[in-house]
Amino acid sequence: MEKSQPAAQIIKAGLWNENPLLRHTLGICSTLAVTNLMVNTLVMNIGLLFTLAMSCCTVSLLRHVTPDRIRMMAQTLIISSYVIVFDIIIKAYLPEVSEALGPYVGLIITNCIIMGRCEAFARSNPPLPALLDGLATGIGFSLVLFAIAFIRELAGFGSLFGCRIMPASFTPWTIMIMAPGAFFTLALLVWLVRTFAGDNGTTQLQGPKT
Amino acid sequence: MNKIGYSVFFMFAITLLCTTLVSVIHVVTRERIDLNQHAKLEIVVLRALAVRIPENSSLAEIDALFRQRVARREISGRTVYIIDQADGKTPQGYAFSVSGPGFWGPVFAMVAVDASLSTVTGIEFYLHRETPGLGARINEKEFQRQFAGLSLNMPVAGGKYFTLTPAAPGKPPSDLDAITGATMTSEAVEKFVNREIATFRALLLESSLTTVPKQ
Evaluate if residue A158 carries a pLDDT over 60.
Answer: yes
> Which residues of A fall within a CB distance of 8 Å from B6?
67
**Dist CA B103 CA B98 (whole Å):** 16
Task: With residue B53 as reference, give the H or E element that holds it.
Answer: none
Domain range for A34 is: 7-145
Identify the pLDDT of residue A173. 84
Evaluate if residue A1 carries a pLDDT over 50.
Answer: no
Evaluate if residue A202 carries a pLDDT over 60.
Answer: no
Determine, for residues A74 and B32 on separate chains, whether the beta-carbon distance falls below 8 Å: no
Asked if residue A162 is part of any domain, the answer here is no
- Which of A66, A81, A156 has the CB atom closest to B21's CB atom? A81
Asked if residue A196 is part of any domain, the answer here is no
Evaluate if residue B213 carries a pLDDT over 60.
Answer: no
Task: State ipTM.
Answer: 0.73
pLDDT tens sequence across A9-35 = 888 887 888 888 887 778 787 787 788
- Which of A70, A92, A93 has the CB atom closest to B11's CB atom? A70
**Dist CA A158 CA A169 (whole Å):** 10
Determine, for residues B36 and A70 on separate chains, whether the beta-carbon distance falls below 8 Å: no
Closest chain B C-alpha to A114 CA, distance in angstroms = 17
pLDDT tens sequence across B152-174 = 887 766 678 888 888 888 788 88
SS3 B99: strand
Q: What share of chain B is helix, strand, coil (3-state, %, to 5)?
A: 45, 25, 30
Least confident segment among B112-121, B180-189, B199-208: B199-208
Q: Is A83 on the interface with B (CB under 8 A)?
A: no
> Which residues of B fall within a CB distance of 8 Å from A79?
none
Evaluate if residue A57 carries a pLDDT over 80.
Answer: yes
The residue that leads in pLDDT, A46 or B154, is A46
Q: Is A70 on the interface with B (CB under 8 A)?
A: yes
Asked if residue A97 is part of any domain, the answer here is yes
Determine, for residues B14 and A77 on separate chains, whether the beta-carbon distance falls below 8 Å: yes
Asked if residue A177 is part of any domain, the answer here is no
Identify the pLDDT of residue B209. 66
Query: Which DSSP category does A123 fall into?
Result: G
Q: Which residues of B lie closer than 8 Å to A, measured between beta carbons?
A: 3, 6-7, 10-11, 14-15, 18-19, 21-22, 25-26, 29, 32-33, 36-37, 40, 129, 131-134, 181
pLDDT tens sequence across A69-123 = 899 999 999 999 999 999 999 889 888 778 777 777 888 888 888 998 999 889 9
The residue that leads in pLDDT, B188 or B58, is B188
Identify the pLDDT of residue A207. 47
Closest chain B C-alpha to A9 CA, distance in angstroms = 32
> Which residues of B fall within a CB distance of 8 Å from A84?
22
Return the residue of A nearest to B25 by Cα.
A85
Rounded alpha-carbon distances, angstroms, from residue B134 to A69, A137, B107, B138, B143 = 50, 35, 14, 8, 12
Determine which of B1, B4, B7 to mutate to test the interface with A (most A C-beta atoms within 10 Å).
B7
Asked if residue A77 is part of any domain, the answer here is yes
Identify the pLDDT of residue B58. 81
Asked if residue A116 is part of any domain, the answer here is yes
Q: Tally A–B CB contacts below 8 A.
A: 65
Asked if residue A169 is part of any domain, the answer here is no
Number of domains in chain A: 1
Identify the pLDDT of residue A205. 47
Identify the pLDDT of residue B2. 81
Cβ–Cβ under 8 Å, residues B119 and B152: yes
Evaluate if residue A139 carries a pLDDT over 50.
Answer: yes
- Ordered DSSP codes for A35-72: TTSHHHHHHHHHHHHHHHHHHHHHHHHTTTTS-GGGHH
Neighbours of B108 (CB within 10 A): 15
Asked if residue A201 is part of any domain, the answer here is no
Return the residue of B nearest to A157 by Cα.
B133
The residue that leads in pLDDT, A202 or B182, is B182
